[in-house]
A = this chain, B = another copy of it.
Amino acid sequence: MSVDPESHRQPSPQGSRIDPYVGAYAARAQGMVASEVRALFAVASRPEVVSLAGGMPNVSALPLESISEIVRQVVTDQGATALQYGSAQGDPVLRERICEVMSLEGIEAAADDVIVTVGSQQALDLITRVFVDPGDVVLAEAPTYVTAINTFAAFQADIRHVAMDDDGVIPEALEENLADLTAAGHRVKFFYTVPNFQNPAGVTLTAERRRRVLEICHRYGLLVLEDNPYGLLRYEGEPVRALRADAPDNVIYLGSFSKTLSPGFRIGWALAPSAVRAKLVLAAESAMLSHSTFNQMVVGRYLAAHPWREQIKDFNEMYRGRRDAMMGALEALMPAGTTWTRPQGGFFVWVTLPEGLDAKSMLPRAVNERVAYVPGTGFYAGDDGHRNMRLSFCYPTPEQIREGVRRLVGVIEAETALRDTFGSASAPPTGGSDVPAPDLP
Protein backbone atom coordinates (compact mmCIF):
# COMPACT_ATOMS: atom_id res chain seq x y z
CA MET A 1 0.00 0.00 0.00
CA SER A 2 1.43 3.35 -0.90
CA VAL A 3 1.04 6.49 1.09
CA ASP A 4 1.15 9.91 -0.40
CA PRO A 5 0.99 12.52 2.34
CA GLU A 6 1.85 15.16 -0.24
CA SER A 7 -0.84 14.54 -2.77
CA HIS A 8 -3.36 16.86 -1.19
CA ARG A 9 -0.95 19.81 -1.15
CA GLN A 10 -0.66 20.01 -4.90
CA PRO A 11 -3.17 21.12 -7.45
CA SER A 12 -3.79 18.47 -10.07
CA PRO A 13 -1.44 19.44 -12.90
CA GLN A 14 -3.91 18.24 -15.51
CA GLY A 15 -6.56 20.38 -13.96
CA SER A 16 -4.56 23.54 -13.60
CA ARG A 17 -2.66 23.77 -16.88
CA ILE A 18 -2.60 22.26 -20.30
CA ASP A 19 -0.15 19.41 -20.73
CA PRO A 20 1.92 20.15 -23.85
CA TYR A 21 3.04 16.51 -23.98
CA VAL A 22 -0.43 15.03 -23.98
CA GLY A 23 0.02 13.75 -27.53
CA ALA A 24 3.46 12.35 -26.87
CA TYR A 25 2.76 9.70 -24.25
CA ALA A 26 2.97 6.00 -25.02
CA ALA A 27 -0.25 4.04 -25.37
CA ARG A 28 0.56 2.24 -22.11
CA ALA A 29 0.46 5.56 -20.23
CA GLN A 30 -3.31 5.52 -20.71
CA GLY A 31 -3.43 2.55 -18.36
CA MET A 32 -1.58 4.40 -15.61
CA VAL A 33 -4.19 5.77 -13.25
CA ALA A 34 -4.09 6.88 -9.65
CA SER A 35 -5.33 4.14 -7.33
CA GLU A 36 -8.26 4.89 -5.10
CA VAL A 37 -6.32 3.50 -2.18
CA ARG A 38 -3.46 5.92 -2.63
CA ALA A 39 -5.63 8.98 -3.01
CA LEU A 40 -7.52 7.98 0.11
CA PHE A 41 -4.53 8.36 2.34
CA ALA A 42 -4.67 12.10 2.01
CA VAL A 43 -8.03 11.96 3.75
CA ALA A 44 -7.48 9.03 6.05
CA SER A 45 -4.25 10.36 7.53
CA ARG A 46 -6.05 13.15 9.39
CA PRO A 47 -5.76 12.31 13.08
CA GLU A 48 -9.49 12.40 13.86
CA VAL A 49 -10.24 9.76 11.23
CA VAL A 50 -10.03 6.08 12.18
CA SER A 51 -8.49 4.59 9.09
CA LEU A 52 -9.45 1.04 8.31
CA ALA A 53 -8.12 1.73 4.83
CA GLY A 54 -4.33 1.41 4.82
CA GLY A 55 -2.32 -1.76 4.54
CA MET A 56 0.63 -0.36 6.47
CA PRO A 57 2.23 -2.73 8.98
CA ASN A 58 2.49 -1.57 12.56
CA VAL A 59 6.16 -0.59 12.52
CA SER A 60 5.95 0.79 16.04
CA ALA A 61 6.34 -2.84 17.14
CA LEU A 62 9.79 -3.06 15.51
CA PRO A 63 12.92 -3.60 17.64
CA LEU A 64 14.37 -0.16 16.82
CA GLU A 65 17.40 -0.47 19.05
CA SER A 66 18.45 -3.67 17.40
CA ILE A 67 17.88 -2.21 13.92
CA SER A 68 19.78 1.00 14.66
CA GLU A 69 22.75 -1.09 15.78
CA ILE A 70 22.53 -3.24 12.64
CA VAL A 71 22.47 -0.29 10.21
CA ARG A 72 25.45 1.26 12.03
CA GLN A 73 27.40 -2.00 11.83
CA VAL A 74 26.75 -2.48 8.14
CA VAL A 75 28.33 0.91 7.39
CA THR A 76 31.19 0.42 9.85
CA ASP A 77 32.05 -3.20 9.02
CA GLN A 78 31.03 -3.53 5.37
CA GLY A 79 30.86 0.06 4.12
CA ALA A 80 33.10 -0.44 1.09
CA THR A 81 30.72 -3.08 -0.27
CA ALA A 82 27.43 -1.82 1.18
CA LEU A 83 27.84 1.67 -0.28
CA GLN A 84 28.92 0.45 -3.74
CA TYR A 85 26.88 -0.75 -6.72
CA GLY A 86 25.74 -4.34 -6.44
CA SER A 87 24.52 -6.98 -8.84
CA ALA A 88 21.13 -6.70 -10.52
CA GLN A 89 20.23 -10.11 -9.11
CA GLY A 90 20.93 -9.06 -5.55
CA ASP A 91 23.26 -9.82 -2.67
CA PRO A 92 24.17 -13.55 -2.62
CA VAL A 93 24.21 -13.69 1.19
CA LEU A 94 20.70 -12.27 1.42
CA ARG A 95 19.49 -14.64 -1.29
CA GLU A 96 20.70 -17.59 0.82
CA ARG A 97 18.80 -16.23 3.82
CA ILE A 98 15.69 -15.76 1.70
CA CYS A 99 15.80 -19.47 0.88
CA GLU A 100 15.75 -20.19 4.63
CA VAL A 101 12.69 -17.97 5.04
CA MET A 102 10.89 -19.73 2.18
CA SER A 103 11.71 -23.14 3.66
CA LEU A 104 9.21 -22.31 6.44
CA GLU A 105 6.47 -22.76 3.83
CA GLY A 106 7.85 -25.95 2.35
CA ILE A 107 9.90 -24.44 -0.45
CA GLU A 108 13.23 -25.93 -1.46
CA ALA A 109 15.09 -23.39 -3.55
CA ALA A 110 18.56 -22.41 -4.69
CA ALA A 111 19.79 -18.87 -4.05
CA ASP A 112 20.73 -18.77 -7.76
CA ASP A 113 17.04 -18.75 -8.66
CA VAL A 114 16.19 -15.81 -6.40
CA ILE A 115 16.22 -12.18 -7.51
CA VAL A 116 15.96 -9.41 -4.91
CA THR A 117 13.53 -6.64 -5.88
CA VAL A 118 12.25 -3.26 -4.64
CA GLY A 119 9.45 -4.81 -2.66
CA SER A 120 7.54 -7.63 -4.30
CA GLN A 121 5.81 -4.87 -6.27
CA GLN A 122 8.89 -4.54 -8.47
CA ALA A 123 8.89 -8.29 -9.00
CA LEU A 124 5.32 -7.99 -10.28
CA ASP A 125 6.43 -5.18 -12.56
CA LEU A 126 9.43 -7.07 -13.96
CA ILE A 127 7.41 -10.24 -14.55
CA THR A 128 4.70 -8.31 -16.34
CA ARG A 129 7.17 -6.51 -18.56
CA VAL A 130 8.92 -9.76 -19.43
CA PHE A 131 5.73 -11.67 -20.26
CA VAL A 132 2.92 -9.34 -21.27
CA ASP A 133 2.36 -7.93 -24.72
CA PRO A 134 -0.57 -5.52 -25.13
CA GLY A 135 -3.80 -7.50 -25.17
CA ASP A 136 -2.40 -10.61 -23.51
CA VAL A 137 -4.69 -12.04 -20.85
CA VAL A 138 -3.70 -12.12 -17.20
CA LEU A 139 -5.92 -14.06 -14.80
CA ALA A 140 -6.40 -12.79 -11.26
CA GLU A 141 -8.68 -13.54 -8.37
CA ALA A 142 -11.93 -11.57 -7.99
CA PRO A 143 -11.21 -9.31 -6.15
CA THR A 144 -7.41 -8.87 -6.31
CA TYR A 145 -4.59 -6.63 -5.10
CA VAL A 146 -5.13 -3.11 -6.40
CA THR A 147 -1.56 -2.29 -7.40
CA ALA A 148 -1.23 -5.59 -9.24
CA ILE A 149 -4.15 -4.42 -11.37
CA ASN A 150 -2.33 -1.12 -11.95
CA THR A 151 0.83 -2.91 -13.00
CA PHE A 152 -0.94 -5.30 -15.37
CA ALA A 153 -2.89 -2.36 -16.81
CA ALA A 154 0.31 -0.33 -17.25
CA PHE A 155 1.51 -3.04 -19.62
CA GLN A 156 -1.87 -3.12 -21.36
CA ALA A 157 -2.85 -6.58 -20.17
CA ASP A 158 -6.42 -7.81 -20.57
CA ILE A 159 -7.21 -8.62 -16.93
CA ARG A 160 -9.81 -11.34 -16.33
CA HIS A 161 -11.07 -12.22 -12.88
CA VAL A 162 -11.65 -15.72 -11.51
CA ALA A 163 -14.33 -16.20 -8.86
CA MET A 164 -13.39 -16.88 -5.23
CA ASP A 165 -15.21 -18.01 -2.13
CA ASP A 166 -14.17 -18.48 1.49
CA ASP A 167 -11.72 -21.22 0.45
CA GLY A 168 -9.93 -19.06 -2.08
CA VAL A 169 -10.13 -19.19 -5.85
CA ILE A 170 -12.60 -21.73 -7.24
CA PRO A 171 -10.76 -24.30 -9.40
CA GLU A 172 -13.78 -24.95 -11.60
CA ALA A 173 -14.02 -21.24 -12.37
CA LEU A 174 -10.32 -21.16 -13.24
CA GLU A 175 -10.66 -24.10 -15.58
CA GLU A 176 -13.76 -22.70 -17.23
CA ASN A 177 -12.02 -19.39 -17.82
CA LEU A 178 -9.00 -21.11 -19.31
CA ALA A 179 -11.09 -23.31 -21.57
CA ASP A 180 -13.09 -20.34 -22.85
CA LEU A 181 -10.04 -18.12 -23.34
CA THR A 182 -8.09 -20.83 -25.09
CA ALA A 183 -11.05 -21.64 -27.36
CA ALA A 184 -11.31 -17.95 -28.21
CA GLY A 185 -7.64 -17.88 -29.18
CA HIS A 186 -6.42 -15.62 -26.38
CA ARG A 187 -2.85 -15.72 -25.17
CA VAL A 188 -3.08 -16.22 -21.38
CA LYS A 189 0.22 -15.40 -19.71
CA PHE A 190 -0.20 -16.26 -16.07
CA PHE A 191 -2.59 -16.70 -13.16
CA TYR A 192 -1.91 -14.23 -10.36
CA THR A 193 -2.91 -15.35 -6.87
CA VAL A 194 -2.41 -14.22 -3.28
CA PRO A 195 -3.13 -17.62 -1.70
CA ASN A 196 -2.69 -16.71 1.97
CA PHE A 197 -4.93 -14.15 3.76
CA GLN A 198 -5.63 -12.60 0.42
CA ASN A 199 -5.49 -8.87 -0.21
CA PRO A 200 -8.26 -7.71 -0.13
CA ALA A 201 -10.51 -10.70 0.65
CA GLY A 202 -8.65 -12.13 3.65
CA VAL A 203 -9.35 -15.72 2.57
CA THR A 204 -6.84 -18.57 2.20
CA LEU A 205 -6.67 -21.12 -0.60
CA THR A 206 -7.11 -24.60 0.87
CA ALA A 207 -4.52 -27.34 0.41
CA GLU A 208 -6.91 -29.41 -1.69
CA ARG A 209 -7.64 -26.49 -4.00
CA ARG A 210 -3.94 -25.71 -4.33
CA ARG A 211 -3.41 -29.18 -5.79
CA ARG A 212 -6.25 -28.66 -8.26
CA VAL A 213 -5.11 -25.20 -9.27
CA LEU A 214 -1.62 -26.52 -9.95
CA GLU A 215 -2.98 -29.44 -11.91
CA ILE A 216 -5.16 -27.19 -14.07
CA CYS A 217 -2.39 -24.67 -14.71
CA HIS A 218 0.04 -27.45 -15.54
CA ARG A 219 -2.41 -28.93 -18.00
CA TYR A 220 -2.81 -25.57 -19.74
CA GLY A 221 0.93 -24.80 -19.58
CA LEU A 222 0.14 -21.71 -17.55
CA LEU A 223 2.54 -20.03 -15.12
CA VAL A 224 1.27 -19.33 -11.61
CA LEU A 225 2.32 -16.11 -9.90
CA GLU A 226 2.15 -16.85 -6.19
CA ASP A 227 2.29 -13.55 -4.28
CA ASN A 228 2.80 -14.28 -0.61
CA PRO A 229 3.51 -11.21 1.50
CA TYR A 230 1.40 -12.33 4.46
CA GLY A 231 2.03 -16.09 4.64
CA LEU A 232 4.00 -16.01 7.89
CA LEU A 233 1.45 -13.76 9.61
CA ARG A 234 -0.92 -16.55 10.68
CA TYR A 235 -2.94 -16.10 13.87
CA GLU A 236 -4.72 -19.44 13.97
CA GLY A 237 -4.93 -22.74 12.10
CA GLU A 238 -2.20 -24.75 10.39
CA PRO A 239 0.18 -23.35 7.73
CA VAL A 240 -0.52 -24.53 4.18
CA ARG A 241 2.37 -25.42 1.86
CA ALA A 242 3.21 -22.84 -0.73
CA LEU A 243 2.11 -23.59 -4.29
CA ARG A 244 5.74 -23.23 -5.30
CA ALA A 245 6.71 -26.05 -2.92
CA ASP A 246 4.94 -28.56 -5.14
CA ALA A 247 5.54 -27.08 -8.59
CA PRO A 248 8.99 -25.50 -8.87
CA ASP A 249 8.85 -25.36 -12.68
CA ASN A 250 5.40 -23.80 -12.98
CA VAL A 251 5.31 -21.19 -10.26
CA ILE A 252 6.99 -17.83 -9.82
CA TYR A 253 6.91 -17.09 -6.11
CA LEU A 254 6.96 -13.52 -4.77
CA GLY A 255 7.99 -12.74 -1.22
CA SER A 256 8.59 -9.63 0.84
CA PHE A 257 10.08 -8.42 4.10
CA SER A 258 7.66 -5.49 4.14
CA LYS A 259 5.25 -7.14 6.57
CA THR A 260 7.58 -9.43 8.55
CA LEU A 261 10.27 -6.77 9.07
CA SER A 262 9.72 -3.34 7.52
CA PRO A 263 8.55 -1.83 4.25
CA GLY A 264 11.11 0.96 4.70
CA PHE A 265 13.95 -1.08 3.21
CA ARG A 266 11.91 -2.10 0.14
CA ILE A 267 13.25 -5.64 0.06
CA GLY A 268 11.13 -8.18 -1.75
CA TRP A 269 12.05 -11.04 -4.04
CA ALA A 270 11.01 -13.41 -6.77
CA LEU A 271 11.89 -17.09 -6.98
CA ALA A 272 11.55 -18.23 -10.58
CA PRO A 273 12.49 -21.09 -12.89
CA SER A 274 16.11 -20.44 -13.96
CA ALA A 275 15.43 -19.26 -17.51
CA VAL A 276 12.73 -16.86 -16.32
CA ARG A 277 14.96 -15.63 -13.51
CA ALA A 278 17.66 -14.81 -16.06
CA LYS A 279 15.17 -12.65 -17.99
CA LEU A 280 14.06 -10.95 -14.79
CA VAL A 281 17.65 -10.05 -13.93
CA LEU A 282 18.10 -8.42 -17.33
CA ALA A 283 14.84 -6.53 -16.87
CA ALA A 284 15.94 -5.41 -13.40
CA GLU A 285 19.22 -4.16 -14.78
CA SER A 286 17.52 -1.89 -17.28
CA ALA A 287 14.95 -0.87 -14.63
CA MET A 288 17.39 0.24 -11.90
CA LEU A 289 20.91 -1.24 -12.48
CA SER A 290 20.85 -2.74 -8.99
CA HIS A 291 18.95 -2.54 -5.73
CA SER A 292 20.46 -0.90 -2.65
CA THR A 293 23.36 -3.06 -1.49
CA PHE A 294 23.16 -1.34 1.87
CA ASN A 295 19.53 -2.29 2.44
CA GLN A 296 20.13 -5.86 1.37
CA MET A 297 23.01 -6.17 3.82
CA VAL A 298 20.90 -4.65 6.59
CA VAL A 299 18.15 -7.20 6.07
CA GLY A 300 20.71 -10.00 5.72
CA ARG A 301 22.36 -9.00 9.00
CA TYR A 302 18.98 -8.69 10.72
CA LEU A 303 18.13 -12.26 9.67
CA ALA A 304 21.51 -13.45 10.93
CA ALA A 305 21.68 -11.46 14.17
CA HIS A 306 18.13 -10.95 15.35
CA PRO A 307 15.80 -13.76 16.49
CA TRP A 308 13.46 -13.01 13.60
CA ARG A 309 11.26 -16.09 14.01
CA GLU A 310 10.50 -15.00 17.58
CA GLN A 311 9.96 -11.47 16.34
CA ILE A 312 7.32 -12.69 13.89
CA LYS A 313 5.62 -14.57 16.73
CA ASP A 314 5.45 -11.29 18.63
CA PHE A 315 4.01 -9.52 15.60
CA ASN A 316 1.44 -12.28 15.22
CA GLU A 317 0.41 -11.93 18.86
CA MET A 318 -0.20 -8.22 18.30
CA TYR A 319 -2.00 -8.63 14.98
CA ARG A 320 -4.13 -11.46 16.37
CA GLY A 321 -5.45 -9.05 19.01
CA ARG A 322 -6.36 -6.57 16.31
CA ARG A 323 -7.97 -9.20 14.11
CA ASP A 324 -10.00 -10.38 17.12
CA ALA A 325 -11.05 -6.81 17.89
CA MET A 326 -12.23 -6.43 14.29
CA MET A 327 -14.11 -9.75 14.26
CA GLY A 328 -15.68 -9.06 17.64
CA ALA A 329 -16.85 -5.59 16.65
CA LEU A 330 -18.29 -6.80 13.34
CA GLU A 331 -20.17 -9.62 15.10
CA ALA A 332 -21.49 -7.32 17.78
CA LEU A 333 -22.46 -4.31 15.71
CA MET A 334 -22.98 -5.01 12.02
CA PRO A 335 -26.58 -4.83 10.88
CA ALA A 336 -28.32 -7.87 9.41
CA GLY A 337 -27.67 -8.39 5.72
CA THR A 338 -23.99 -7.47 6.01
CA THR A 339 -21.48 -10.31 5.67
CA TRP A 340 -17.70 -10.58 5.95
CA THR A 341 -14.80 -12.99 5.64
CA ARG A 342 -12.93 -14.53 8.61
CA PRO A 343 -9.18 -14.15 8.01
CA GLN A 344 -6.85 -16.53 9.85
CA GLY A 345 -3.96 -14.15 9.29
CA GLY A 346 -2.82 -11.15 7.28
CA PHE A 347 -4.25 -7.66 7.45
CA PHE A 348 -7.66 -7.59 5.78
CA VAL A 349 -11.33 -8.47 6.02
CA TRP A 350 -13.73 -8.17 3.07
CA VAL A 351 -17.19 -6.88 3.84
CA THR A 352 -20.28 -7.25 1.66
CA LEU A 353 -22.98 -4.64 2.29
CA PRO A 354 -26.72 -5.24 2.09
CA GLU A 355 -28.34 -5.11 -1.34
CA GLY A 356 -28.81 -1.56 -2.64
CA LEU A 357 -25.84 -0.02 -0.83
CA ASP A 358 -22.74 1.26 -2.62
CA ALA A 359 -19.50 1.39 -0.62
CA LYS A 360 -17.89 3.84 -3.02
CA SER A 361 -20.67 6.41 -2.99
CA MET A 362 -20.99 5.92 0.78
CA LEU A 363 -17.36 6.85 1.39
CA PRO A 364 -17.75 10.64 1.64
CA ARG A 365 -20.37 10.13 4.36
CA ALA A 366 -18.08 7.68 6.16
CA VAL A 367 -15.16 10.10 6.11
CA ASN A 368 -17.53 12.76 7.37
CA GLU A 369 -18.21 10.39 10.27
CA ARG A 370 -14.44 10.01 10.75
CA VAL A 371 -13.91 6.48 9.49
CA ALA A 372 -12.20 5.39 6.27
CA TYR A 373 -12.03 2.15 4.29
CA VAL A 374 -11.23 1.13 0.74
CA PRO A 375 -14.27 0.68 -1.53
CA GLY A 376 -14.39 -2.71 -3.23
CA THR A 377 -14.43 -1.29 -6.75
CA GLY A 378 -10.69 -0.62 -6.59
CA PHE A 379 -9.97 -4.33 -6.49
CA TYR A 380 -11.55 -5.18 -9.83
CA ALA A 381 -10.34 -4.40 -13.32
CA GLY A 382 -13.96 -3.95 -14.42
CA ASP A 383 -16.98 -2.35 -12.80
CA ASP A 384 -17.57 -4.63 -9.84
CA GLY A 385 -17.33 -4.64 -6.06
CA HIS A 386 -19.82 -1.82 -5.42
CA ARG A 387 -21.30 -3.58 -2.40
CA ASN A 388 -17.87 -4.36 -0.98
CA MET A 389 -15.26 -2.70 1.18
CA ARG A 390 -11.88 -3.74 2.48
CA LEU A 391 -11.29 -3.17 6.18
CA SER A 392 -7.77 -3.47 7.52
CA PHE A 393 -6.88 -4.21 11.11
CA CYS A 394 -3.08 -4.00 10.89
CA TYR A 395 -2.39 -0.38 11.81
CA PRO A 396 -5.06 0.91 14.23
CA THR A 397 -5.17 -0.28 17.85
CA PRO A 398 -7.95 -2.62 19.03
CA GLU A 399 -9.70 0.37 20.61
CA GLN A 400 -9.51 2.34 17.39
CA ILE A 401 -10.76 -0.65 15.43
CA ARG A 402 -13.83 -0.99 17.66
CA GLU A 403 -14.53 2.74 17.43
CA GLY A 404 -14.03 2.65 13.68
CA VAL A 405 -16.49 -0.20 13.22
CA ARG A 406 -18.97 1.60 15.50
CA ARG A 407 -18.80 4.70 13.28
CA LEU A 408 -18.98 2.60 10.14
CA VAL A 409 -22.09 0.81 11.39
CA GLY A 410 -23.72 4.19 11.98
CA VAL A 411 -23.02 5.12 8.37
CA ILE A 412 -24.33 1.82 7.02
CA GLU A 413 -27.52 2.17 9.07
CA ALA A 414 -28.07 5.71 7.82
CA GLU A 415 -27.51 4.55 4.24
CA THR A 416 -29.92 1.67 4.75
CA ALA A 417 -32.55 4.11 6.03
CA LEU A 418 -32.01 6.28 2.94
CA ARG A 419 -32.35 3.25 0.71
CA ASP A 420 -35.56 2.20 2.45
CA THR A 421 -36.98 5.71 2.09
CA PHE A 422 -35.88 6.61 -1.43
CA GLY A 423 -35.27 3.23 -3.01
CA SER A 424 -31.53 3.92 -3.31
CA ALA A 425 -28.82 5.24 -1.01
CA SER A 426 -26.22 7.92 -1.77
CA ALA A 427 -25.99 8.86 -5.41
CA PRO A 428 -22.76 7.66 -7.01
CA PRO A 429 -20.20 10.46 -7.11
CA THR A 430 -20.06 12.42 -10.33
CA GLY A 431 -17.44 14.65 -11.90
CA GLY A 432 -13.76 14.10 -12.59
CA SER A 433 -12.67 12.53 -9.33
CA ASP A 434 -13.39 9.09 -7.96
CA VAL A 435 -12.35 10.01 -4.45
CA PRO A 436 -13.62 12.46 -1.88
CA ALA A 437 -12.03 15.86 -1.89
CA PRO A 438 -9.28 16.02 0.69
CA ASP A 439 -10.81 19.01 2.43
CA LEU A 440 -14.10 17.22 3.02
CA PRO A 441 -15.31 18.20 6.49
Contacts and interface: CB of A to CB of B under 8 A. Distances in A.
Contact of A295 (B56, B274, B279, B292): B292
Nearest to A26: B133
Nearest to A282: B32
Interface string A190-206: 00000000000000000
Interface string A118-130: 1101100100011
Nearest to A92: B6
Contact of A292 (B3, B151, B264): B264
A434 interface: no
Given A25-B130, A34-B282, A287 B56 contact: no
Contact of A278 (B13, B277, B292): B13
A378 to B, nearest CB: 13
A283 to B, nearest CB: 6
A421 interface: no
Contacts of A279: 25, 29, 32
A244 interface: no
A59 interface: yes
Contacts of A67: 75, 79, 83
A122 B119 CA distance: 15
Copies in the complex: 2
A112 interface: yes
Interface stretch (A16-24, A178-186, A366-374): A16-24
A392 to B, nearest CB: 13
Contacts of A103: none
Given A75-B71, A264-B82, A291-B118, A130 B32 contact: yes
Nearest to A89: B6
Listed residue (A83, A289, A292) with the most chain B CB atoms within 10 angstroms of its CB:
A289
B151 A286 contact: yes
A294 to B, nearest CB: 4
A285 B122 CA distance: 10
A152 to B, nearest CB: 9
A32 B133 contact: no
Given A24-B131, A32-B283, A83-B67, A13 B76 contact: no
B154 A3 contact: no
A184 B358 CA distance: 53
A1 interface: yes
Given A64-B75, A68-B72, A125-B288, 14 more contacts: A2-B285, A2-B290, A3-B86, A5-B92, A13-B278, A21-B223, A21-B273, A35-B285, A68-B76, A71-B72, A83-B262, A122-B288, A154-B283, A264-B292
Interface of A: 1-7, 9-10, 12-14, 17, 19-22, 24-29, 32-35, 38, 56-57, 59-60, 62, 64-65, 67-69, 71-72, 74-76, 79-80, 82-89, 92, 112, 118-119, 121-122, 125, 129-133, 136, 147, 150-151, 153-155, 189, 221, 223, 249, 258, 262-266, 273-279, 282-283, 285-295
13 contacts: A3-B84, A12-B278, A35-B285, A56-B84, A56-B85, A59-B84, A64-B76, A72-B72, A84-B262, A121-B286, A264-B293, A265-B292, A265-B294
